[in-house]
Structure 1
Amino acid sequence: MTYALLLILAHFLADFTFQSDKLIEGRKSHENKVRRKALIKHAFIHFVTYIAFILVGMIFIQSINLLNILSLFVIVLLITVTHFEIDAAKYHLDQQVTSQKWKAITFIGDQLLHILIIVIPTLYLMESNIISNPAANYWLSLLILFYLNTIVASHFLQIVLGKIAPPNTFEQIVEEEVDRQEPNQEESLTHTVVTKSKTSYPDSHHKIGRYIGMLERTLIMMFVFSGQVMGITIILAIKSITRFKQFDDKRFAEYYLIGSLLSMIIGIIFGYLASRL
């Protein structure tokens, strides 16, 4: 199981951390030549990352022999080629999908397919011949859960919440009836006064909201892992204080509530999974 976990961790790093925004845009390009070049570069990054992690695994597990090297090379080559084909197919699928719900389902399905293609051949060709390392398995599993809870969850939430994010400007209209009596009139006249106020909330620093979310889910995961679930309320209270004025905007309040609840649920799930290792 150790090699399978190493390759899964390598996959997530290559798919998210080692992938630049420019490369992501290239993979989404409508020009076949540009898109194909970006997909090849992305697959090559995966190949190099897999090889690096496999070499580290061989050193620590002390399983360096010709048979293992050949088997792992075949596995890595198979994973890399299929990764390229899956990503190429996903581009065409994304062109047909418009709703955020199906985009989120496609994202999860894509990652699950990649993981299955890593796990099945690795367990079939390698694990029966190599003694697994329980300590390494534990820490690798914990690292994978942490990465899923932070980086991967951020991308997932960005997809889910992408179209419901409110604008940064909140306009409030207040109508007020005022009685006013003119000097030459016996009865007072009622006038309606309309007051408009506009409040702007400047954009935060690039990706700062994503980093706050990752820290939030990390703390939630730690609280659940250690059995201190009540600590989650402190996080939500601190987070709410920083956005208190924006709650006057109903759209923002709903967006904030959905995002916070989803983030909290994800943190709790991965905290529970980590506690069960």
Structure 2
Amino acid sequence: MNAAQFFILQLIAHMLADFYFQNDRLAAQKNTHGFRSPFLKWHILIVFLLSWGLSFQLYFVYGALVIALTHYIIDGLKVYLNRSKWLGNYAFFIDQVLHLAVIIVVTVAYALYLGLHPWWEVALSPRLLMAIFAYLACLKPSNIFIKEVLKAYQISVPGTNDLPNAGKLIGVLERILVLTFILLGEFQAVGFLIAAKSILRFKNDDILKAEYVLIGTLLSFGIAILLGTFVGLA
């Protein structure tokens, strides 16, 4: 296992713990109650087990403990960040940047100074692991990211909550298709998909709603294109 594989596996572990192993209700409870949240302790246990398990090395138990404990502190204090008048709308991004910084520091320290000694050699290349990460990111995490961007810029339009699950599913499908087309080198298909969605979604006399949909669409396509680019560079 090389350092790139190790780092991507830790990113996947974080994504699974923070987005897939908690639902919206539990996340809201954690964000509201902080250290007093009953779910926070279970969340940190999941963070630790995924971080350690996906490292595929026994000695990373200490690194996983550092990641889990700092995760506990960051998530516990996030309640105060959410209440901040100036930073409340950006709490999600600050939270994720701090988690990412910890993962980078811990994985670099292990790779450079303690060495990587996996008990099971990962046969997947960094590019394939990055592709797995990209497809996982295109699902629930991207929906949450887009929602938080709109919240940060205080963008909302009455009536845009109609069929919210349908909107989320459309976003997921378009990101999966765009990412797949990019990985296959079919860039003209991406342009066709953008044009097709423009015809279907933007033929609307409500300017505010059309702009709202346009922002969400550009963010959705932008995420998929960036992820496809990162996979290509891996």
TM over 0.5: yes
| Structure index of larger Rg | 1
| Range with greater deviation from structure 2 (103-112 or 228-237) | 103-112
2:231 equivalent in structure 1: 274
Alignment-mate amino acid for residue 155 of structure 2:
I
Is the 8 Å Cα contact of residues 221 and 267 (structure 1) preserved in structure 2? yes
Q: Tell me whether 1:46 sits opposite 2:47 in the alignment.
A: yes
Q: Decide which of 257, 264, 269 is 2:214's aligned counterpart.
A: 257
Gap runs ≥5 in structure 1: 58-67, 169-200
Is the 8 Å Cα contact of residues 153 and 266 (structure 1) preserved in structure 2? yes
Gap runs ≥5 in structure 2: none
Structure 1 stretches (4+) deviating beyond 4 angstroms?
97-101, 128-134
Q: Decide which of 58, 61, 66 is 1:78's aligned counterpart.
A: 66
* TM-aligned CA distance change 1:145 to 1:126, over 3 Å: farther
* TM-aligned CA distance change 1:50 to 1:99, over 3 Å: closer
Q: Tell me whether 1:161 sits opposite 2:150 in the alignment.
A: yes
Q: Decide which of 15, 21, 40 is 1:12's aligned counterpart.
A: 15
What TM-score do you get using the length of structure 2 for normalisation?
0.82
Find the aligned partners of 2:85 and 2:137 in 1 and give their Cα distance.
24
* TM-aligned CA distance change 1:112 to 1:276, over 3 Å: same
Q: Percent of pairs identical after alignment?
A: 28
Find the aligned partners of 1:215 and 1:121 in 2 and give their Cα distance.
38
Q: Which has the higher helix share?
A: 2
Find the aligned partners of 2:39 and 2:182 in 1 and give their Cα distance.
40
Find the aligned partners of 2:135 and 2:109 in 1 and give their Cα distance.
25
* TM-aligned CA distance change 1:42 to 1:14, over 3 Å: same
What's the RMSD between the two structures over aligned residues? Answer: 2.9
Find the aligned partners of 2:89 and 2:69 in 1 and give their Cα distance.
28
**Pairing 1:1-277 to 2, within 5 Å after superposition:** 1=3, 2-30=5-33, 33=36, 35=37, 37-54=38-55, 57=56, 69=58, 71-98=59-86, 102-103=90-91, 105-124=93-112, 126-129=114-117, 135-162=124-151, 163-168=154-159, 203-204=162-163, 207-244=165-202, 247-277=204-234
Find the aligned partners of 2:74 and 2:212 in 1 and give their Cα distance.
32
- In the TM superposition, residue 74 of structure 1 has moved relative to its aligned partner by 1.3
SS in 1 for 2:83: helix
Find the aligned partners of 1:102 and 1:225 in 2 and give their Cα distance.
32
Is the 8 Å Cα contact of residues 67 and 103 (structure 2) preserved in structure 1? no
Is the 8 Å Cα contact of residues 82 and 88 (structure 2) preserved in structure 1? no
Is the 8 Å Cα contact of residues 107 and 156 (structure 1) preserved in structure 2? no
Find the aligned partners of 1:210 and 1:260 in 2 and give their Cα distance.
11
Find the aligned partners of 1:6 and 1:230 in 2 and give their Cα distance.
32
Cα displacement string for residues 234-258 of structure 1 (whole angstroms, at most 9, x for unaligned residues): 222332344355x211110111111
* TM-aligned CA distance change 1:155 to 1:117, over 3 Å: farther
Alignment-mate amino acid for residue 139 of structure 1:
L
SS in 2 for 1:164: coil
Find the aligned partners of 2:88 and 2:65 in 1 and give their Cα distance.
33
Is the 8 Å Cα contact of residues 5 and 140 (structure 1) preserved in structure 2? yes
Identify which of structures 1 and 2 has the higher relative contact order when contacts are C-alpha pairs closer than 8 Å and 6+ apart.
Answer: 2
Find the aligned partners of 2:161 and 2:16 in 1 and give their Cα distance.
32
Alignment-mate amino acid for residue 27 of structure 2:
I
Cα displacement string for residues 196-249 of structure 1 (whole angstroms, at most 9, x for unaligned residues): xxxxx8821x5332221122112112222222222123222332344355x211
SS in 2 for 1:96: coil
Find the aligned partners of 1:104 and 1:83 in 2 and give their Cα distance.
13
What TM-score do you get using the length of structure 1 for normalisation?
0.70
* TM-aligned CA distance change 1:259 to 1:166, over 3 Å: same
Q: Which has the higher strand share?
A: 1
